[in-house]
Amino acid sequence: MTQNPGLLIRGARLAADLTERDADISVADAVDLRIADGRIVERGTGLQAREGERVIDAAGLVAFTGFVDLHTHLREPGFEQSETVLTGTRAAAAGGFTSVFAMANTLPVADTAGVVEQVQALGDAAGYATVRPIGAVTEDLAGERLSEIGAMAQSRAAVRVFSDDGKCVHDSLLMRRALEYVKTFDGVIAQHAQDPRLTEAAQMNEGALSSELGLKGWPAVAEESIIARDVLLAEHIGSRLHICHLSTAGSVEVVRWAKARGVQVTAEVTPHHLLLTEDLVRSFDPRYKVNPPLRRDTDVQALRQAVADGVIDIVATDHAPHPTEAKECEWDAAAFGMVGLESAFPIALQTLVQGGYASFAELEGLLSQTPAQIGGLLGHPSSLSVNQPADLVLVDPSGISVFDAQRLQGRSINSPYLGMELPGLVHTTVRRGYLTLDAGAVVDVEIVAAAAQAANAVQGAVSASVRGGTR
């Protein structure tokens, strides 16, 4: 087995050092990082390249621990025309993600140990990102009987996050049981908060605009009422609860209230809900059709402020690929969802960092550290320091460029940002010490697969020696 070549990153600013909002990156010292055998082995300044080491000039770039997406739809098995584990993790690498949590609404649904193990194995083989399967809360996402939560937790995939995302666990008693049962396995329920009766055939945010356009409304209360119920259930039981894709100002207030009471609730927001508003629906272009729907500008502002206040804990993409025909049709017939892995950083940079709502250090929390904690992700670096796993991303926060289809590395192109000017670029992604994105170009499939295999061999040897030495 060949070893992956070492990397020497020169002159990067570390996001963790950029703790002031609105600060220029030059206030942080430039740092060199040496990477070997999947870990950061040296950190300093003026490090000299060793033989065989790949040198990466990171002047002007900011280094983060690798981004972690707690909400990705990889579509495999079952919907491979939209995305596969391979293509979805390519998109992840292009976006600076080193780990993704794959949602359960595949076909078959990820509600058994077999499916989650398969998804994890596909991710391991592809090597572009660590794939952590999310298990379904209920069998076939039907909202009737609990799925084999224990079996999935105890499987090789060691599932810790459970979600019926796409559907809401709407039955109050079932939600209570789910919150109690996952506690047994140190898991968390990620709730897609949507009262199904209030949103039958719903198409867009309910308001004067939905009435004008004649599109059936998805009222804010359908999200807020479920969140209110669930935080009270979580408090009653003492369970952890994660709320997927908050989209309304009212939801922010409910979560703020719950956190003040000490409820163990975490909340996520998508990049698109931080930027886009319902006004885009006027075009009837189904690229803007998403669930939960795009809301009003006041909601967008409230979500940004909630990030600044720490009410919202993470940014997650809800990357939802669909084939062209699912969007090339009338609005009602179109699928919900937009791809988001490749655009997540530019949108977060624009709305949160440049907007003054988060520092780069806080962005590392939002896009990397906190999602890793919520998801119980093992092997993720807690910082870019010596002996930490080398999962990291270098971004260029300067400049502005047109976001075009060339930037999309997944199988689907249903991005709402095509043609928009967005700031920043993801420059380089390193997973377990090897490159998955090299100066803006996704590394070839075979090279990444081989590198992943080599990294696994090293890791296997290390953990075997650790086991031998300590137990």
Partner 1 sequence: MRHLLDTRTLAREDALRILDTAEDMAATQQREVRKLPTLRGKTVVNLFYEDSTRTRISFEAAAKRLSADVINFSAKGSSVSKGESLKDTAQTLQAIGADGVVIRHPASGAPERLARSGWIEAGVLNAGDGTHEHPTQALLDAFTMRRRLFGEAASRGRDLDGMSVVIVGDLAHSRVARSNLWLLNTLGANVTFVAPETLQPYGARDWPVTVRHSLDEAIREDQPDVIMMLRIQSERMHAAFFPNEREYARNWGLDDARLAQLPERALVMHPGPMNRGLEISSAAADSDRSTVLEQVANGVSVRMAALYLLLSGERTEHA
**Shortest gap between Cβ of 204 and partner 1 (angstroms)?**
10
* Strands annotated E in 134-293: 161-162, 188-191, 204-205, 217-218, 241-243, 265-269
Q: What is the helix (H) or strand (E) element at residue 221, kind and residue range?
A: helix 220-237
Which of 201/260 has CB closer to partner 1?
201
Cα–chain center distance at 233: 26
**Shortest gap between Cβ of 329 and partner 1 (angstroms)?**
6
Which of 82/210 has CB closer to partner 1?
210
Catalytic residue among 195, 230, 313, 318: 318
C-alpha closest to that of 96 among 264, 343, 451: 343
In the residue annotation, 164 being an active-site residue is answered as no
CB 365 within 8 A of CB 400: no
Identify the three-state secondary structure at position 233: helix
Which residues form the interface with partner 1 (CB under 8 A)? 206-215, 217, 219, 283-284, 325, 328-333
Which of 331/357 has CB closer to partner 1?
331
Sign, CA dihedral 138-139-143-145, equals: negative
C-alpha closest to that of 93 among 57, 125, 129, 61: 129
**Shortest gap between Cβ of 447 and partner 1 (angstroms)?**
39
Which of 6/217 has CB closer to partner 1?
217
Which of 107/329 has CB closer to partner 1?
329
In angstroms, the CA 113 to CA 147 distance is 10
Neighbours of 240 (CB within 10 A): 19
* Beta strands 314-315; 54-57: pairing state: unpaired
**Shortest gap between Cβ of 286 and partner 1 (angstroms)?**
8
**Shortest gap between Cβ of 189 and partner 1 (angstroms)?**
31
Give exposure, 44-66, as e/b (b: 16+ Cβ within 10 Å): eeebeeeeebeebebebbbbbbb
Which of 65/210 has CB closer to partner 1?
210
CB 40 within 8 A of CB 381: yes
User: At 80, phi and psi to the nearest 5?
Assistant: -70, -15
Active site residues: 318
